[in-house]
């Protein structure tokens, strides 16, 4: 296919949109609404995911190592750092710990118990909260480690919630994606039905199916992308409002899906254009075979 033909097809696609304005408007609105619903669900699912994950990420493994000085525990710290999945570790200030301990148990100080009786407390940060238990088990085996506290039950429970959210959101997005594709395909079919005479004439004068299909697929891509931009506009506005509302609810604090505006726009335009192209392609295929 020559460049002239491609140019002609793009021109035809835009002429088609202009001349079938009302149907194009109906398609764009349907696409915008469908993608809006899909986008809202996906963003809420991402925000919920992020919210729970942020809670889990706050969990660290508390490790207690016996030793008089920092130098005594250095070999153990080195081994902990060497465990895969350990991101960072922080040795708590023993003086502060001692002060706190003394407040709780004043009898210890009066009995003349020295500071170094307290083990060093180390907070270990891990990259993946689901590996907390596994890493804690490895730390327990290190020489000199007195006690390891990884809040296993709580972490497990939150991880279970996270898994449910993940499964539900993936299933929801898939169902909505399928429904969106069907709705958009139907809207495009209606525009094609309105143009069946044009398609018939093209067939009668000897246009190949590819020549008939391409301008309509380009139209589908353009309508899909325009619908996506509209959906993005409403999602961005709606997102701002939801974030403002959430900030007023104390326990939620600042929530965000973590998806930037540009990322959201790109994602929606790609999904919109792809669904538009696929919807047109499938509808025309049926049309050409009828």
Partner 1 sequence: MIRFENVTVEYPNGVRALNDVNIHIGKGDFVFVVGPTGSGKSTLLKLVYREVAPTRGTVLLDGEDVGALKPAQVPYLRRKLGIVFQDFKLLPQKNVWENLAFAMRVIGKHPREIRRRISEVLDLVGLCHRCDAFPHQMSGGEQQRAAIARALVNYPTVLLADEPTGNLDPDTSWEIMQLLDQINTHGTTVLVATHDNQIVDRMKKRVIQLEAGYVVRDQQRGVYQHTALAEDLRCGA
Interface ranges with partner 1 (CB under 8 A): 2, 4-5, 8, 19, 197-198, 200-209, 211-212
74, two tokens = 């250095």
CB neighbour list of residue 160: distance below 8 Å, 6 or more residues apart: none
Q: Helix, strand, coil proportions of the chain in percent (round to 5)?
A: 75, 10, 15
CB of 204 to partner 1, least distance (A): 5
In the complex with partner 1, which residue's Cβ is closer, 18 or 248? 18
In the complex with partner 1, which residue's Cβ is closer, 4 or 254? 4
CB of 22 to partner 1, least distance (A): 13
Tell me which DSSP letter residue 117 carries: G
Report the candidate in 137, 135, 150 with the shortest Cα–Cα distance to residue 83: 135
In the complex with partner 1, which residue's Cβ is closer, 2 or 112? 2
Report the candidate in 158, 281, 188, 215 with the shortest Cα–Cα distance to residue 13: 215
In the complex with partner 1, which residue's Cβ is closer, 66 or 198? 198
CB of 14 to partner 1, least distance (A): 14
In the complex with partner 1, which residue's Cβ is closer, 112 or 206? 206
CB of 1 to partner 1, least distance (A): 8
H-run or E-run covering 146? strand 145-149
CB of 288 to partner 1, least distance (A): 9
Rounded Cα distance between 93 and 117, Å, is 14
């Amino acid at each position: 296919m020559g460049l002239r033909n491609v140019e002609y097809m793009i021109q035809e696609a835009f002429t088609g949109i202009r001349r079938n304005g009302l149907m194009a408007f109906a398609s764009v609105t349907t696409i915008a609404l469908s993608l809006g619903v899909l986008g809202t669900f996906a963003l809420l699912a991402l925000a919920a995911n992020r919210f729970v994950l942020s809670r889990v990420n706050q969990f660290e493994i508390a490790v207690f190592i016996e030793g008089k000085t920092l130098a005594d525990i250095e070999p153990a710290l080195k081994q902990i750092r060497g465990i895969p999945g350990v991101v960072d570790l922080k040795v708590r200030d023993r003086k502060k710990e001692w002060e706190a301990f003394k407040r709780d148990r004043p009898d210890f100080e009066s009995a003349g118990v020295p500071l170094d009786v307290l083990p060093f407390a180390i907070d270990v940060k891990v990259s993946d909260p689901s590996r907390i238990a596994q890493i804690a088990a490895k730390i327990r085996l290190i020489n000199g480690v007195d006690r390891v506290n990884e809040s296993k039950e709580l972490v497990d429970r939150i991880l279970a919630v996270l898994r449910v959210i993940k499964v539900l959101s993936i299933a929801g997005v898939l169902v909505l994606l399928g429904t969106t594709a069907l709705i958009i395909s139907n809207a495009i079919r209606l525009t094609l039905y309105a143009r069946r005479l044009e398609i018939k004439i093209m067939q009668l004068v000897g246009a190949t199916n590819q020549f008939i299909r391409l301008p309509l697929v380009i139209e589908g891509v353009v309508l899909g992308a325009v619908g996506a931009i509209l959906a993005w506009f409403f999602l961005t506005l709606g997102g701002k409002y939801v974030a403002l509302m959430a900030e007023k609810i104390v326990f939620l604090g600042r929530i965000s899906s973590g998806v930037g505006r540009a990322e959201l726009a790109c994602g929606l335009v790609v999904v919109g254009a792809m669904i538009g192209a696929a919807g047109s392609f499938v509808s025309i295929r049926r049309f050409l075979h009828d």
